Amino acid sequence: MTAEAIVEVKGVGKTYDGGVEALNDVCLELPPGKLSTLLGPSGCGKTTLLKIIAGLIPPSCGEIRVKGQKVDGPGPERAFVFQDFALLPWANVLRNVAFGLELRGAPMEQREEIARRQIAEVGLGGFEGSYPNQLSGGMKQRVGLARALAVNAEIVLMDEPFSSVDEQTRRKFQEELLDLLVHKQKTVIFVTHSIEEAAYLSDQIVLLSPRPGTVSRIIRPEIKRGGRSPDEIRRDKNYLDAVDEIWQILKQYV
């Protein structure tokens, strides 16, 4: 692994029962402190690759290395934000956010203190006692993000985290995610179907081919974001060029 990479994907393939080949010989290096997006046509193996990096499912061949160590399962340096929230329906917001810390054996007082701080950071202060069925989709996603942040993992893996919210909430979440990168120095690996979202958020965009997915192209938009408004960024030539380049590649697969 190069000194610049925190995650290395080495010749990863995945074939499911029944012979469905999802990924084939994926080779990739992901830099620390950056947001890397996996993007490609439906069924190309984006979520499969993300779950293999997370250690949630094993590859059929190849390996994942995180900070030079081979991945054989989930680890404390990685946290996963699920598309469907994956909240415990019988637990309130405080318990849901503290759940990862509970699994790691943290004392109750400590984990609740950390959970309350993260709940406040994602804008849900006052909802600690609420249950998932009392929350909107956007609020549930904030709970999922707070839970991932509570365990203080270096790497946050996000599977289409904003796909179930309205456009206004989606844009707000995008801003908050960029702010997270600036202030918490996390490495984020992000899956989305949105070309515009990928170009807006990403330091590095990994385009996967149709199934079986393999790396088709890596695009680095090199957008200067510091101190600029969202509208300014979306008018930036590098942003517009990245959107166009991605579309020119992906439309071949439609």
Q: What is the fold of 1-77+155-165+189-254? A: Rossmann fold (3.40.50)
Give the C-alpha separation, 118 to 102, whole Å: 15
Q: In what order do the strands lie in the sheet with 7-15?
A: 21-30, 7-15, 61-66, 69-70
pLDDT of res. 236: 92
pLDDT of res. 3: 52
- On whether the pTM is more than 0.85, the answer is yes
Domain boundaries, the chain: 1-77+155-165+189-254
pLDDT, averaged per 10 consecutive residues of the chain (254 residues), comes to 80 93 96 94 94 96 95 91 86 94 90 93 91 90 88 91 80 83 85 94 95 94 84 92 94 82
- Contact between 22 and 14 under an 8 Å Cβ cutoff? The reply is yes
